[in-house]
A and B are shown apart, each in its own frame.
Chain A
Amino acid sequence: MAHAYQTDQYEGMIAETVSMRGHNGDTINAYVARPLGSGPFPGMVVIHHAPGWDEWYRECTRKFAHHGFVSISPNLYFRDGHGTPEDVGAKVRAAGGAPDTRVLGDLEGANSLLRSLPYVSRKIGVFGTCSGGRQAFLAGCKLKGFDAVIECWGGRVVMSKEELTPSQPVAPIEYTKDLSAPILGLFGNEDKSPTPEQVNQHEAELKKHSKQYEFHRYDGAGHGFFYYDRAAYRQEQAMDGWKKLFAFTDRTLR
């Protein structure tokens, strides 16, 4: 989605990797992008997807900055070693993903860092796609301090007993009653994880607990339809999704 800026306006951005405190006080790295100026700007914690802390997520973090957010994408795989995003992501894939407890600790650390910055307003959102969508929902339920949740095709929010592991011991849907912020959900109707039926269950649970939610489901799209670098990209649905996303953050974080 194009930002509605004027061609004669000043614009600037800083984007860089930083160190931050994550789960258990561990030092991890993160990518931060912010507009120049004193703000105050709303914050956005950007949760990278399962394939890794990759270029798409660098660009996504800068996109939020372009739209006026101080955005931070913590490297949730920092403790799994360093190398190319694909190699590190493959290692985490083999391990069955990052542990929920550790991820939540890292997201809480990212939230705290944003709140410590003088140019960040008191409003902070959390955004994630794929496993990051699941983790964004988890963060909205288990952590305090998020004012908006954006869950894009979060797989395994609904989990069977057989899918539970020591790293992911509880299906996030079980925490729905604890959700403390409005949530926007974007899903593709051809997705296999989450399936439309699982999205139905997710929505029914939100409704049951009278949560403020807004779900948009797209025909002709499957999993990851924002990813322009993958075959899953669907231009029309992606552009509409971004439009709805920024309309949602205008209402919840401005």
Chain B
Amino acid sequence: MCTMIAQQVKILGRGKSGPEWFDVREANVSYDHPYDLPLEHALNIDFVNEAMGPGARVAVELSVDAARQLVRTIQAVLAEADQRGVLEDCPVVAVPARESSTA
């Protein structure tokens, strides 16, 4: 890509791409060319499981404004859950990988 602005974070979660859910273990966040959003550059997030190959991927491509609003919204939702005492946190590294289903 032509900006090569990309970072990866280890995550814990499940994602759905096609009919099946699978473990997502990494989130690749980039500001670079999107595949489908008709912009030259976009904030791209790929939720992936590298151990399962390139096809284990849930992709979103966001405008900058959408990405900023999403970040604020995630923070606000987590803050509210924390305030109400319902957060159930789990360190990313503490949970073993589940048996992978097909991506």
Contact = CB atoms under 8 A, between A and B. Distances in A.
Given A80-B54, A81-B53, A51 B40 contact: no
Nearest to B1: A50
A155 B33 CA distance: 12
A93 B41 contact: no
B41 A192 contact: yes
Given A50-B33, A156-B4, A83 B40 contact: no
How would you classify the secondary structure of chain B's contact residues: helix, strand, loop or mixed?
loop
Interface stretch (A84-92, A170-178, A179-187): A84-92
B20 to A, nearest CB: 15
A155 B8 CA distance: 22
Interface in A56-91: 80-84, 86-91
Interface residues of B, number: 24
A94 B33 contact: no
A232 B54 CA distance: 26
B28 A94 contact: yes
B24 interface: no
A51 B36 CA distance: 11
A126 B40 CA distance: 25
User: Which of B3, B54, B59 is the most central at the interface, judged by chain A CB atoms within 10 Å of its CB?
Assistant: B54
A93 B40 contact: no
27 contacts: A51-B1, A51-B33, A51-B35, A81-B53, A82-B54, A84-B54, A87-B54, A89-B35, A90-B44, A90-B46, A91-B48, A91-B50, A93-B6, A93-B28, A93-B33, A93-B44, A94-B6, A94-B28, A94-B48, A96-B6, A130-B1, A156-B2, A156-B3, A165-B4, A168-B4, A231-B38, A232-B40
